[in-house]
Amino acid sequence: MSIPVRISQRALAQIRQLRSSMNLNEETYLRIGVKGGKGCMVVEKLLGFDQKKEGDEEFVVEDIHIIIRKGESLYVAGMEVDYIEEGSSRGFVFQG
């Protein structure tokens, strides 16, 4: 199964740098997920490091192991995770 979201080279480079600076072990994955989606239907996209749990789907992009909870893939399908630096602002963004 292919990953439902694209990850830019800038984002991959920043993820590698973060993993290294945080001394994360091999059992720590990059989690892509969502929060909300009930009632008013506003869905916030999330990105962070986490342990794999039951119900997670695992994907590999280059050397980065990524987990997405089953059922959340449809909320991020077709999007791209990018890393931007504009002036004093920098961070990961979901585009698309």
pLDDT digits (tens, 9 = 90+) for 12-25: 999 999 999 999 99
Q: What confidence tens digit (pLDDT) does each residue in 29-62 have?
A: 999 999 876 656 677 899 999 999 999 999 999 9
What is the bridge-based pairing of β-strands 80-86 and 43-51?
Answer: unpaired
pTM score of the predicted model: 0.88
Domains detected in the chain? 6-95 (2.60.300.12)
Whether the Cβ atoms of residue 42 and residue 36 lie closer than 8 Å to each other: yes
Amino acid at 27: E
> Order of strands, edge to edge, in the sheet holding 89-95?
6-7, 80-86, 89-95
